[in-house]
Structure 1
Amino acid sequence: MAFFSRFCSLKTLYLPLETSAKFLQLCAASTSTSTQTISSTRKTFSHMFQECSNRRALKPDKNWISWSAAIAGCVQNDQLLRGLKLFKEMQREGIGVSQSTYASVFRSCAGLSACRLGTQLHCHALKTDFGSDVIVGTATLDMYAKCHNMSDAYKLFSLLPDHNLQSYNAMIIAYARNEQGIQAFKLFLQLQKNSFSFDEISLSGALSAAAVIKGHSEGIQLHGLAIKSNLSSNICVANAILDMYGKCGALVEASCLFDEMEIRDAVSWNAIITACEQNENDRKTLSHFGAMLRSKMEPDEFTYGSVLKACAGQQAFSNGMEVHGRIIKSGMGLKMFVGSALVDMYCKCGMMEEAEKIHYRLEEQTMVSWNAIISGFSLQKKSEDSQRFFSHMLEMGVEPDNFTYATVLDTCANLATVGLGKQIHAQIIKLELLSDVYITSTLVDMYSKCGNMHDSLLMFRKAPKRDSVTWNAMICGCAYHGLGEEALELFEHMLHENIKPNHATFVSVLRACSHVGNAKKGLFYFQKMASIYALEPQLEHYSCMVDILGRSGQVGEALRLIQDMPFEADAIIWRTLLSICKIQGNVEVAEKAASSLLKLDPEDSAAYTLLSNIYADAGMWQQVSKIRQTMRSHNLKKEPGCSWIEVKDEVHTFLVCEKAHPKCEMIYSLLDLLICDMRRSGCAPEIDTIQVEEVEENRHQKVKSNGFS
């Protein structure tokens, strides 16, 4: 072994080509030589042969050994097309091929994902009587597997007259890479029954299969097998175990294993960083990244991808900027994987302008980066920008995927643009994407939020599959439109179908109870969350219960519920109570709610407005005047309400007291007629005292500016 190491370190080498080739064969045949040493030796020779090829040194004495060496050198140095061209030239010269020649060209096809060319070369191997050779067969099935053609790979494996450990390893790893974990396990068990035992490659493949199927118990057994066979200290096996625990959600075991590892390479660091990120422990992800840098280990694009996801998850913009700076400094550039992760990070941190700039500077604008921008605008409540970017994506000839359609449907729901929603629905039907549960659920949600409950219910009933998200969308739609009884019936049906409810389900159910005014049923479901479904109520659920109790006249009970919560109340829950006080006319509780709300947000104009209206309803005009003065001194104005409606594929937006709409006069004339009809029928419109004062003040200012004061 020491000899191999010394050999690899030589700067100058004078050996006949035939001797060099025989030495390589000796390396390959040696069982006592480590994988790292063989790899180093191979690289040394590949570099030498590549130099020979570049200088045309093979010209004087060309035979199959020199050609094979040159082709192997090209492949080893990632010059895959050059290797294939040399093979073609070799055939023109009429020089015969060997096992190693075929192994190199099949590796080139695998690297280029050139399955068609690989199939042609497979036919060539069959014609030259190498079809039954186990080395050529193994290289061929590896090529098919890397081109994602598993049916042909397995067919070839079955037809091989003799199997060896390498052919089994190639097939096990191929199944694991193509996310067919069960088949990989079966083959690993079959390998153990044969005369030749498994090695570190077989075991690593089986561990990858456990990661694919998230088989934690299977992974533990394989970990035990690694310890028993003295392979657990092998860096490849240790990394595979680490990756398996991470993907199975066993972050504690992954962390313990990582801490115990005596030797760590870049793969080890990537595995633990990815494990933390995938298990949503963003703080630990960033901590491990810092430790990796301190250990002088150089991050690669996969490291940066995971770290950027962690920055996005924490919305840690400063950390994300620092990582971006490191990427620029490393000279990595905006490669596909890293570039898309950067776009996603900036989007989730709300920096949409920066995200767009990076997107357009990417070497290749992938579907991930397009989707990141579209969903980023949607998350920032900029639905119009999201739809604009979607249109630009179509103009660029990029085909949307399931996630794109679902995101744009969500923006249609936010803007109530049912016309665009129907167009996308038609495209989804055309592309036969309705089997996707996420898309079906989004369609149900979109139609209900656009007020089209008929189509929403139709989509729900026709859905080929329904998960908790689909049920939640339908229950929420019914609750939102005041169909409380229907929402509760759907919930009972959902339980009958053995679909487990989640936190979002109970928010909709409690809202439905509020709409039907059934406080008893609301309290029953609220208590059922923890006692039966082990779901601890969150702020949203408490807010719903405050609304339920308040609407049933139990304002004091609602206040006590807030005071007894296991966590601090937020602005939303105090605002809910304040709104209930407006309905019930409870001034005492309203003052407490407003005081708590203004402690959280002293600039909340809505809190002042609500309290002012409560005082006005109670005839407490002196208090109304005080609130008005306070708002003036703090320079606070009520934010004008905004609504929009889609008519003939055009969205019309309206602000309170705003008269910019081209049909403004006609709209206000119709509104006056409606108010007159309301008054004649005994209904008086609700007056917002703050808004009335502001309108009067604005009118007075306009009169003064025209010189009529």
Structure 2
Amino acid sequence: MSLARVTKLLNRNEAYRLEDACLRILSLCNSQSLTEGVYVHSPVIKLGLQDNLFLNNNLLCLYAKCYGAERVRYFFDEMPYRDVVSWTGLLSAYVRSGEHDEALELFDSMIVSGQSPNEFTFLSVLSACSDLGKFDDGRRTQAYVIKFGFESSPFLCSSLIDFYAKSGCTEEACSIFKAIDNGDTISWTIMISSLTQAQKWSLALKHYIDMTNARVPPNEFTLVKLLAATCFLDLNYGKLLHAHLIMLGIRLSLVLKTALVDMYSKFQAVDDAIKVSKQTPQYDVLLWTSVISCFTHASKVKEAIAALHEMKIFGFVPNNYTYSIILKACSTALSLDLGKQIHSWIIMTGLEDDVCVGSALIDMYMKCSHLTRDALRVFRGITSPNVICWTSLITGFAEHGFEEDSFETFEHMQMAGVQPNSFTISTILRACSTVKAYNHTLKLHGYIIKSKLDCDIVVGNALVDAYAAFGMVDDAWHVIGRMSHRDTITYTSLATRINQMGHHEMALDVITHMYNDNVKMDGFSLANFLSASAALATIATGKQLHCCAVKSGLGSSISVLNSLIDLYWKCGCETDAYKAFGEISEPDIVSWNSLISGLASTGYVSSALSAFEDMRLAGSKPDSVTFLLAISACSRGGLVDLGLEYFHSMKEKYDIVPQLDHYVCLVDLLGRAGRLEDAMEVIVTLPFTPDSLIYKTLLGACKFHRNIPLGEDMARRGIELDPSDPAFYVLLAKLYDDSGRSELAMKTRRLMKERGLRTNLEQSWIELRNKVHIFIAGDRSHPQINEVHEKMESIIAEFKCRGYLYEDREDYSYHSEKLAVAFGLLKTPSGVPIRVSKNMRICRKSHDFIKLVTQLVDREIIVRDGNRIHAFKKGECSCNAGAAANFLWKETIS
């Protein structure tokens, strides 16, 4: 052998050794993601090995792990040769760095270049499609999978299942899963995981049942995913899963134990969560955080803090999520001092710049302090605040009543390049509806459409609520019509706003839309519809809703029962109202207020005040509404000294500052009792600017006691404050009439007419077979008005025949409540109570007329006017007989 050939062989062997050494180094560095491995790139070039595809692919992989997509792309473009591994490596780097659009463009270039993809290429492409939500690109990728013969790959099938599940195409995902032969634990778990990620909780549980029926054993990860699904369903499902894993003998690993604690925590089953956490000695930061979260969800702040201390004692360092949970506990307890202490710990651990902790700190300071400077200081200390930080700040401003600041912060957020999410938009829309910022709402609506956020149900619901808050019901319905799907919140928020506008019949019409949309009512929506029925005094509709509540299992909801108390009182169904109250195991302040209000409005003053005292004995602290009701009851019952005692005890005993409404009640209390000078003294010494109502209240008292000078003064002050309110002219004219000054009464009415002021139309209505019949004073448009008038004539004739004292000088057709009562006598079966509602206070003559009717016929007649409920029976009315009524509400409940 020649020397030249020996030298050549030696050089070749040396090159092989160097090449092998480079490969070994790259393999080692790839396995440990060591940046030092890229130094091999230089000797590779010096040794002339840059054409080695295998070496280059290893280098490309290392660049992807250490430096990201940009450096990988530069290296990829310099490669003289590329194969499927090269293309897939770059594509994977784009996906890992979140540059999904670039990944899809690269895949198209790969196909155009003629390079055939492998299953790993498709895995990256499907991941990009899934994250981008590009359904058409995903379907096209599936076509390529079939074209290149990978449709039976278990990895690709799993990826396709995940893609379709996240896209909301559950049927397609299930179809692919069913095509897998002999599905094992991994494939079943992937299917269940995909369904939980797609929020198909019930379907995930159904697949688990199918999995057990197919005798495929679950593993701990299967159960972890299922436990996460049960958090959105019912505690009993979670308990069944817990029992099943015990029955199967699955080891309680740290991951599974944490999932169980999380599940019990979501349902505030604190004892069960803590019991599970102590079943094995293993703990980590995630488990401790779950335990702390469990206490926080149950509003057990002391226990949460104690768990944090214990966690530190055992040597576990809290992470950013742990601190955010503890800060949430501080926000729940409104404990600023505790929040500041946690803030100092955060600073010591160096987490003050963390966006998760920062958001929680902003939220805590906004909720626990009446100042915003601390929250702003925290926000400014975050280097790169994310959308959650910005949203916390915007929400805080809105909740503090600084709506303009929230609008300005929203603009700064956009200028900073941070895109708002659905919660940001919904917060801003709520602020718009609070301050009636119509132009802001229109701009936001345009932005929502432009950003394609109109498909988000949270944003859609906020838009519906905003338009309804402006009284633009048609626009709200238009938004609902364009939403891809609606939920209970959609319709409840709309019905609530319509109710607030006083369009109660329109609010009840929302029920039909919910039914047609297959949206079930919850406790809040039912309470809202019951409130509308109560406002209309439509007992038939109310009882139907009550049946619906019982059938749906919502009959025990305290919000529903509170609404039922209100409904039955306003419809004059005393027994049903007591029964609803008696079904509440632990009445809250709303329950007691509803009961006191019902008793007082029906004239049972002593019983209302007895209920007020029983509420205090039961340990319920009265609020400002309770005192308003108690003072009002004293006013109706003529209990001046007791009413004054209640008024003064608000501040002295309960630290409740009286508001203007309480002073109006106080003026009414003194005015009715004839203490007009004391009432005037209250107005003069008011800590607020007087409104027209307080002048109107004292004017009404002046009318009753025929005090012309003070009445004229009140009328003058009231008209100066609200010149468009005709009530001042009407009350003053009646004062002159009652005092024998008819010329001044005529002059006052003429002045009112000259100023173009008219009183509201007097009307009464009665419900019959789910239809409301309206009667208007002096109007003959009702189709059966002639029959009603004939009935009225026969009633009056019967009065005369029996010798009842009844004045028949006025035109009886003028009084709408009389017409409604006559219609009720004509059209309702004998023995059934007649229920009439009127938009104004019932006049004395009509009141006397209905009392005589109940002497004539053995019927109960309930009239609800704008002021109270009148229950007429056997010639008596509850407003007169209330003080002496043989009535013990506690005995009725028991």
Q: Rate the CA distance shift 1:360–1:130 in 2: closer, same or farther, 3 A.
A: closer
Contact 1:578 1:611 in 2 (8 A): yes
Identify the residue that residue 432 of structure 2 maps to in structure 1: 311
Q: Rate the CA distance shift 1:451–1:163 in 2: closer, same or farther, 3 A.
A: closer
Contact 1:173 1:205 in 2 (8 A): no
Percent identical pairs in the alignment equals 24
CA distance in 2, matches of 1:510, 1:190: 51
Find the partner of 2:228 among 115, 135, 145: 145
Contact 2:644 2:666 in 1 (8 A): yes
CA distance in 2, matches of 1:147, 1:217: 36
Find the partner of 2:199 among 106, 113, 117: 113
- CA shift, 1:414, in A, is 0.8
What is the SS of the residue equivalent to 2:98?
A: helix
Amino acid aligned to 2:469: K
Q: How does 1:273-284 map to 2 (within 5 A)?
A: 273-278=394-399, 281-284=402-405
TM-score if structure 1 supplies the norm length? 0.80
Q: How does 1:10-159 map to 2 (within 5 A)?
A: 10=71, 11-12=73-74, 14=76, 41-43=96-98, 48=103, 51-52=106-107, 62=118, 69=124, 72-73=127-128, 76-78=131-133, 89-91=152-154, 108-114=194-200, 137=221, 141=224, 144-145=227-228, 148=231, 158-159=252-253
Can you list the C-alpha shifts for 1:218-264, whole angstroms capped at 9, x where unaligned? 65454333211112122333223334444667764433322443432
- CA shift, 1:305, in A, is 0.6
Contact 1:646 1:652 in 2 (8 A): yes
Find the partner of 2:535 among 403, 414, 426: 414
CA distance in 2, matches of 1:574, 1:606: 11
Amino acid aligned to 1:608: Y
CA distance in 2, matches of 1:424, 1:672: 38
Q: How does 1:338-357 map to 2 (within 5 A)?
A: 338-357=459-478
Identify the residue that residue 487 of structure 1 maps to in structure 2: 608
Identify the residue that residue 345 of structure 2 maps to in structure 1: 225
What is the SS of the residue equivalent to 2:766?
A: strand
Identify the residue that residue 549 of structure 1 maps to in structure 2: 670
Q: How does 1:656-667 map to 2 (within 5 A)?
A: 656-667=777-788
- Aligned pair 1:402/2:523, yes or no? yes
TM-score if structure 2 supplies the norm length? 0.65
What is the SS of the residue equivalent to 1:158?
A: coil
Q: Rate the CA distance shift 1:215–1:603 in 2: closer, same or farther, 3 A.
A: closer
Q: How does 1:515-526 map to 2 (within 5 A)?
A: 515-526=636-647
Contact 1:413 1:447 in 2 (8 A): yes
Q: How does 1:290-309 map to 2 (within 5 A)?
A: 290-309=411-430
Identify the residue that residue 471 of structure 1 maps to in structure 2: 592
Amino acid aligned to 1:265: N
Find the partner of 2:356 among 236, 240, 245: 236
Aligned length: 671
Q: Rate the CA distance shift 1:662–1:108 in 2: closer, same or farther, 3 A.
A: closer
Can you list the C-alpha shifts for 1:156-178, whole angstroms capped at 9, x where unaligned? 89325999999854894799599
Unpaired runs of 5+ residues, structure 2, are 1-34, 37-62, 77-81, 160-182, 233-237, 259-281, 816-894
- Aligned pair 1:254/2:317, yes or no? no
- CA shift, 1:611, in A, is 0.9
Compare 12-21 and 258-267 and name the one that shifted more: 12-21
- CA shift, 1:487, in A, is 0.5
Identify the residue that residue 870 of structure 2 maps to in structure 1: none
Q: Rate the CA distance shift 1:630–1:235 in 2: closer, same or farther, 3 A.
A: same
Identify the residue that residue 771 of structure 2 maps to in structure 1: 650
Q: Rate the CA distance shift 1:178–1:24 in 2: closer, same or farther, 3 A.
A: farther
Find the partner of 1:200 among 300, 317, 320: 320
Contact 2:158 2:191 in 1 (8 A): no
Amino acid aligned to 2:347: I
Q: Rate the CA distance shift 1:94–1:588 in 2: closer, same or farther, 3 A.
A: closer
Identify the residue that residue 696 of structure 1 maps to in structure 2: none
Q: Rate the CA distance shift 1:638–1:233 in 2: closer, same or farther, 3 A.
A: closer
Identify the residue that residue 701 of structure 1 maps to in structure 2: none
Contact 1:274 1:306 in 2 (8 A): yes
Q: Rate the CA distance shift 1:397–1:558 in 2: closer, same or farther, 3 A.
A: same
CA distance in 2, matches of 1:511, 1:436: 29
- CA shift, 1:421, in A, is 0.4
CA distance in 1, matches of 2:723, 2:810: 24
- Aligned pair 1:371/2:498, yes or no? no
Q: Rate the CA distance shift 1:195–1:557 in 2: closer, same or farther, 3 A.
A: closer
Can you list the C-alpha shifts for 1:412-440, whole angstroms capped at 9, x where unaligned? 11111011101111111122213321111
Contact 1:110 1:147 in 2 (8 A): no
What is the SS of the residue equivalent to 2:765?
A: strand
- CA shift, 1:563, in A, is 1.6
- CA shift, 1:629, in A, is 2.4
CA distance in 2, matches of 1:221, 1:48: 47
Find the partner of 1:9 among 70, 92, 108: 70
- Aligned pair 1:430/2:551, yes or no? yes
Q: Rate the CA distance shift 1:90–1:596 in 2: closer, same or farther, 3 A.
A: same
What is the SS of the residue equivalent to 1:43?
A: coil
Compare 623-632 and 402-411 and name the one that shifted more: 623-632
CA RMSD of aligned residues (A): 4.7
Amino acid aligned to 2:231: H
Q: Rate the CA distance shift 1:60–1:293 in 2: closer, same or farther, 3 A.
A: closer
- CA shift, 1:527, in A, is 0.7
What is the SS of the residue equivalent to 1:643?
A: strand
Amino acid aligned to 1:311: C
Amino acid aligned to 1:228: M
Can you list the C-alpha shifts for 1:50-84, whole angstroms capped at 9, x where unaligned? 95599679996857x66765565555545799699
Compare 8-17 and 371-380 and name the one that shifted more: 8-17
Amino acid aligned to 2:349: S
- CA shift, 1:107, in A, is 6.3
Contact 2:387 2:420 in 1 (8 A): yes
Amino acid aligned to 2:69: C
Q: Rate the CA distance shift 1:381–1:203 in 2: closer, same or farther, 3 A.
A: same
CA distance in 2, matches of 1:24, 1:331: 28
CA distance in 2, matches of 1:95, 1:458: 56
Identify the residue that residue 699 of structure 1 maps to in structure 2: none
Q: How does 1:432-447 map to 2 (within 5 A)?
A: 432-447=553-568
Q: Rate the CA distance shift 1:433–1:646 in 2: closer, same or farther, 3 A.
A: same
Unpaired runs of 5+ residues, structure 1, are 26-37, 693-709
CA distance in 2, matches of 1:686, 1:285: 64
